[in-house]
Structure 1
């Protein structure tokens, strides 16, 4: 298309693509790293659709780091990483029967022969991958980013119905079985009832509960806590819904595969049906749309797959989803409730977001009393007044969304919402970040208590430094205490210099869980909590201790902060709250540069060329370090002992300059390489002076391929590239390309796949 657009059109398209990419990355960061949905599924899907349109018109704008080329999820860091032998992809969605029939028509056109469809329920749970070797369960892993997941094998052992050894015979050397872990509806209700009775957090929906239950760590728990953890895991169930790695399965269809897996003792659903026409699949969709409540688990749609396995290979997949399957998403449930108030909350990035506070109501399986209204223009567009009866639904059956008012029920007492002109937390005038922005932000990023609180909480999160005892409550206590008047952390710069003397005096106001309003004691004074101190025990008093003593939370927090000073560089990068720099980009930057100083001194071009970074993230890094108080944070952390470098890392380009054995070579590591995780393989390539690439091209020098290499291996074979196994990879790292000079390179196929 390069010769079909008018002068200046490409520049406009590039600018729009950058804006879309920035927003999509922001939404992904909020959803996958912070468990926060700051936009509806419809807004996200619309942004992705528009970016795909632009990249179709201007292919030169589509980089390998584009959101259209990557899966939105990512592996977290609480558990050990597991590399899937085959990628775990997402599913494309349709939202109407005409859209579904259009998808089926494309499938039938591309298949050029009769197609059967397998229809099954889309379970609202957590995707899981079971790896069996010679019939024995070796690992159970979450999906993660589709390539690397989290090892939850220890916990999966407590989920009933999952065999440790397959029944029957004929088990392959390696097979990956994919499924969904979930809470049955009744078990979820019992779980939340127990949570409420013990004063614990109520889970918003079964999927969150399943994820939270399966991703618990046994370490540090006492016997009673372990018993509760195992009891919760025992309420979970799993159903198999697909295959990962399985070379030459002895069946021709997905439905036959289900029968075989059931014979091996794996739990398979009984709610599936194979049909011969797309219209019959539409009938299956309509039936369960009307009978969702009859199923023993929550569903958020129907998955329709091509039943013939041979067609799976022929139809292939995009970078994110298979072309032989589609998810039909049902319209979410809708209920009416009272809009009690609209309050404005300021988040970690300074965005001022109006929230609807409603009378508690149950919708799509969980109780809801708050929903984001995004910004003042959305409030106006929805036409809601405080005091209205409003229609509430869960967008995608997950995110609470106010649709609009029931105007007929107004009685004249309703009032309009007025967006505040000043930050409700620090009083700074709100303003758009740049001209044309709809969202208002508090520009006092340095010292706005809400933003500092959010950043401190983020530092302690699993995706950043994983500091135990630094969660929501501790972050609030450290940044917004009532006593003393000046909080210990006016910014996050002082976090690593905290002492026990800083913690002991802290007092925080107790607030009502429902209203958020401060509670008062009988004398009218504000009720206070002192989270970091306790009164001495009787034994301590006998020893002469009379004053306040550090609580276990205080001691744990300080010990964890000390440990975090030597965290890996990528975790420290995530902890700095640099826009768009999440764990994936941070790992890439840390592996390549080896130190924060090297990152700070790199040019935009040097940053952008790092695999997995790109121009948007490069700009964000440069912008962040241009701010003086950002640099003050880094300087203070370093003075307090934080190590912003990787011991032994040769630095960017240093390995090549020093004669690294892979200097000037590009290597792709794919599949499961024995002795290496994906990150370890990448780091080994970099340490030897080479470039670690994620995609195969004519410029690739070596492809290290293990089981599950998939399409990358096929492309390498087509291009005639040098392909090596795990043993060869170790030889390459030790001896360089000279170790393979005597072996002839494979000949490329006549029509290499590009």
Structure 2
């Protein structure tokens, strides 16, 4: 390479890596695998090493990525949160071991830890109580997310025992368990929202939400693995972490002390397979010199400790053939492309299909039919195509082009500005949308109609017995008994369940309507605030966004729903059949407007009521729960152990602080 070409290559790699840093840390939406990113970084490091005349202190090789969000207060780390050197090669681990032994001799142990794939978090404790929680940020400073961290059950607010230091930091990883991730995506699917890509990005995004009440619902978890401070109880890192477990921190039972690099390699070999049985995502193993004294002797480079290294697992990938691409239409009209593959075994299961998500993904992959594609499980869960072997492509292979018309009804597809998905706008004439809405209507969290399922809905629709959800209440026993696999008992069970569903409360009926973006929680908020379906229908955009947790996208969707005459006819028909479109009287008892127009933030612990009970009381009396303090906050409802960041903010903004007793007097 010429001098000019070398400089251009360095500048190109720096720009690419900065772009990927931004997508990974700030947007939580990476477009490149960890392996590909690390290979680019290594290439840049080698070029800069060979050509020191092009060194730049702002190069991505000289700093960690940044996830700083200006909506949060930035806090400087007392101890910088450096990144670790990454390796994908066991030979590199042996080289690491050789370097360590040259510097400190042979009298030491290693500690091996699972490398959890989540969002890094540093907690500060003083006199056994949580003071502050800060994200990694750019390594030098991070975002203060104390309010959100306090909602994580595995983050102790007060420590156990007595032998912890008066002041110390502990670092860990915030994670979203696979099971919870699956539940979240199921709820989003029911609400007609795009699915989350993987647990890591979802955990990171959850930690940065402005409403801590919403964070609490995410059921985040956390594992802790590194204690910093003066007067720690042990010199050994392993031993200190064992002590931290006694103080109340969740630590990994799989952490192991190893006497040699051979034991380290055995540990890695075991977990490369066993990791698939864990409830959370891991992407490698961290190897550390155990003694803190020896760690201090070894020191640090500009961006990483010399006494630690991360061995990254290669995500299991298999190659197979793309046989065809089909398109699924959901109940909201979203059209999802699906890759149909030659069956292949991946991470213990046979994979035949992989979601392609949207037109942009197809274009990015440059897919052609009969391509040899490489598939991996995103976050160890969802199969996805990560790359194509273009060298194996047939010369006449047709390119995969995203369809322009609905595969079910032929209507021209639409793509809304700012959205990745294409939609079929034919809500009333597109069979999958109609059937999908009815299936949603009868589901357990909605109307919970016993005896009806996807196959029965399909049968009833194809026989012309139902065209919408209201038609279910017109069904007669003789119509059902004559159907395939339907006897007298089955028909009777369905009709009884339909009759019983007329007692289902308003918030579940509202959820059952399937308004886009109105999931189970949003439906409850709307029902509790507006009381009747008529009030919801008459609410303006501005009125809706004033309701707790209702944003512009939800408000627009509600407006569009009630602008549709078919939807109004459906509601009218359901009303005539006796469904509940008004909040139950028992729920209305004791309601008032005493807190009308007030925005209240809750912080601390209380004697007479739980935080959830206080939130319900605020809503019951017309107030609005908010998660963070701003100029618009009316009061901080404070108990004991209010976070210092909240005290600082209310003082700065002049927000009044009221006690639990003062609040209860306000609503007497």
Q: TM-score range by the shorter chain?
A: 0.5 to 0.7
**1:723 is aligned to 2:661:** no
Conservation of the 8 A alpha-carbon contact between 1:95 and 1:328: no
1:389 aligns with 2:389: no
Shift of 1:335: 1.2
Pick from 335, 341, 344: which aligns with 2:327? 344
Deviations 1:8-53 (A, max 9, x none): xxxxxxxxxxxxxxxxxxxxxxxxxxxxxxxxxx99x95995799x
Following superposition, the deviation at residue 439 of structure 1 comes to: 4.8
- Cα distance change, pair 648–270 in 1 and its aligned pair in 2 (3 A): closer
Find out whether 1:566 has 2:527 as its counterpart. Answer: no
Judge which range, 596-605 or 378-387, deviates more.
378-387
Number of equivalent positions: 486
Q: Which of 536, 539, 555 is matched with 2:493 structurally?
A: 555
1:588 aligns with 2:569: no
After superposition, what is the alpha-carbon deviation per residue over 1:339-363, rounded to whole angstroms, capped at 9, x for unaligned?
2322221112212322111122233
Aligned equivalents of 2:578 and 2:79: distance in 1?
A: 66
The one of 292, 295, 301 aligned to 2:283: 301
Give the one of 625, 636, 639 matched to 1:692.
Answer: 625
| Separation in structure 2 between the aligned mates of residue 437 and residue 116 of structure 1, nearest angstrom | 36
1:211-226 to 2 correspondences below 5 Å: none
Residues 607 and 487 of structure 1, relative CA distance in 2, 3 Å threshold: same
Structure 1 residue 686: deviation in Å? 3.3
Aligned partner (choices 612, 622, 647) of residue 549 of structure 2: 612
| 1:455 positional shift | 1.9
Answer yes or no: is 1:432 the counterpart of 2:418.
no
Shift of 1:729: 3.5
CA contact (8 A) 1:148 1:678 kept: no
**C-alpha displacement of 1:627:** 0.5
Determine whether 1:625 maps to 2:562: yes
Q: Is the 8 A contact 1:673 1:725 kept in 2?
A: no
Unaligned runs of 5+ in 1: 1-41, 53-91, 126-144, 154-165, 172-176, 185-204, 208-237, 244-248, 275-283, 308-326, 508-529, 535-547, 735-754
Q: What SS does structure 2 have at the residue aligned with 1:121? A: strand
Q: Is the 8 A contact 2:268 2:285 kept in 1?
A: no
**Equivalent runs, 1:56-95 vs 2, <5 Å:** none
Counterparts of 1:482-493 in structure 2, within 5 Å, are: 485-493=462-470
Match of 2:47 in 1: none
Which residue of the other structure, out of 105, 114, 121, is the alignment partner of 2:114?
121
Is 1:668 equivalent to 2:578 in the alignment? no
Per-residue deviation at 1:337? 1.0
Q: TM-score, normalised by structure 2?
A: 0.57
Q: Secondary structure at the match of 2:367?
A: coil
* Native 8 Å contact 2:599 2:633 kept in 1: yes
Q: Which deviations, in whole Å up to 9, do the C-alpha atoms of 1:80-117 show, x marking residues without a partner?
A: xxxxxxxxxxxx99964956973389999933656688
Residue pair 2:362, 2:402 contacting (<8 A) in 1 also: no
Question: Residue 453 of structure 1 contacts residue 476 of structure 1 at CA under 8 Å; is this kept in 2?
Answer: no
CA distance in 2, matches of 1:666, 1:293: 51
Hey, what's the Cα distance between the residues in 2 that align with 1:331 and 1:607?
47
Q: Distance in 2 between matches of 1:100 and 1:609?
A: 46
Specify whether residues 726 and 259 from structure 1 end up closer, same or farther in structure 2 by C-alpha distance, changes over 3 A only: farther
What is the deviation of 1:713?
A: 5.1
Please list the CA deviations of residues 124-161 of structure 1 after superposition, one character each: whole Å capped at 9, or x if unmatched: 89xxxxxxxxxxxxxxxxxxx9699999x9xxxxxxxx
Partner of 1:635: 572
Aligned to 1:704: 637
- Check conservation: 2:198, 2:378, Cα contact below 8 A: no
> How far does the alpha carbon of each residue in 1:311-364 deviate from its partner, in whole angstroms, 9 at most, with x for none?
xxxxxxxxxxxxxxxx99976332101223222211122123221111222334
Please report how far the alpha carbon of residue 375 of structure 1 lies from its aligned counterpart in structure 2 after TM superposition.
Answer: 4.2
Q: Extract unaligned runs of 5+ from structure 2.
A: 1-18, 42-59, 69-73, 85-111, 119-146, 165-171, 180-196, 200-219, 226-230, 258-263, 291-309
Tell me how far 1:241 sits from its aligned partner.
Answer: 1.3
Alpha-carbon distance in structure 2 between the residues aligned to 1:292 and 1:628: 57
- Structure 1 SS opposite 2:602: strand
**Among candidates 432, 449, 455, match of residue 437 of structure 2:** 455
Question: Structure 1 residues 435 and 582 mapped into 2: Cα distance closer, same or farther (>3 Å)?
Answer: closer
600-609 or 387-396, which deviates more: 387-396
CA distance in structure 2 between the aligned counterparts of 1:667 and 1:271, rounded to whole angstroms: 43
Q: Is the 8 A contact 2:516 2:554 kept in 1?
A: yes
Match of residue 361, structure 1, among 333, 344, 358: 344
- CA separation of 1:167/1:447 partners in 2, compared to 1, >3 Å: closer, same or farther? same
* CA distances 1:162-199 after superposition (whole Å, capped 9, x unpaired): xxxx998889xxxxx99979799xxxxxxxxxxxxxxx
TM-score by length of 1: 0.51
RMSD: 5.7
Measured after TM superposition, the shift of residue 629 of structure 1 is 0.8
**What is the SS of the residue equivalent to 1:477?**
helix
Shift of 1:488: 3.4
Q: Is residue 475 of structure 1 aligned with residue 454 of structure 2? A: yes
Q: 1:181 to 1:352 in 2, by over 3 A?
A: closer
- Written as runs of structure 1 = structure 2, the 5 A alignment for 1:158-173 is none
**Match in the other structure for 1:9:** none
Whole-angstrom distance in 2 between the partners of 1:288 and 1:687: 55
